[in-house]
Amino acid sequence: MSKSAIYKRQISRAGAISWQLAQTFWVGGLWLLRFVMLPALEKIGLAPLLVEDVADGLSPLMVGFALFCAGLQALVLAQAEGLGSLWRDLRGQLLLTVLTMGFLFLVVRAWLPDAQRWLTFNYLVLAFCGVLLVLQPGPDESRRP
């Protein structure tokens, strides 16, 4: 095997690893915050306003982290399968949806902080797009026989 083939294989493997790692962090983080940590804080008897403050503080951080990780995944997908895969491929469409909805979450939160229904809806769209993305094969896995 030539050096360039080995190098391409290593880059491909590094992309697949970074894809899975980024996906695990942002999808798992979104779900963990909304569906595990906040209900657990409510269940142990924390004051509802305190739980709301925790959600208001951590949700934008998780969405920002999801934006970073989804951007990394979009770069990996574009590098592995071409820039056009962001529009043609379901994985790319989900990533573009996540990037758009995450950006809108941060903008709406900055301009209209009282739009809680929109922010909750937006957060849930991000979480469910993440689950759909987890069900898709990674960039390298789709080419394997």
Half-sphere exposure of 130 (CA within 13 A, CB side): 29
For 109-129, the pLDDT digits (tens) are 999 988 999 999 999 999 999
pLDDT-based confidence at 5, cuts 50/70/90? Answer: low
Report DSSP letters for 56-119, one per residue.
HHHHHHHHHHHHHHHHHHHHHHHHHH-TTHHHHSHHHHHHHHHHHHHHHHHHHHHH-TT-HHHH
- How far apart, in whole angstroms, are the C-alpha atoms of residue 59 and residue 61? 5
Residue 87 · residue 93 · CB < 8 Å: yes
How much is the pLDDT for 10? 59
Mean pLDDT, all residues of the chain:
89
More confident residue, 82 or 63: 63
Return phi, psi of residue 140, to 5°.
-80, -35
- pLDDT at 145 (0 to 100): 43
d(CA 15, CA 81): 11
Q: What is the pLDDT of residue 82?
A: 85
Q: Write down the pLDDT at residue 44.
A: 94
Mean pLDDT of all residues in 32-56: 94
Is residue 1 very low, low, confident or very high in pLDDT (cuts 50, 70, 90)?
A: low
Residue type, position 77, single letter: L
> Which pLDDT does position 64 carry in this prediction?
97
Q: Which of 122, 130, 111, 114 is nearest to 59 (CA)?
A: 122
The residue type at 42 = E
In which band, very low, low, confident or very high, does the pLDDT at 11 lie, cut at 50, 70 and 90? Answer: low
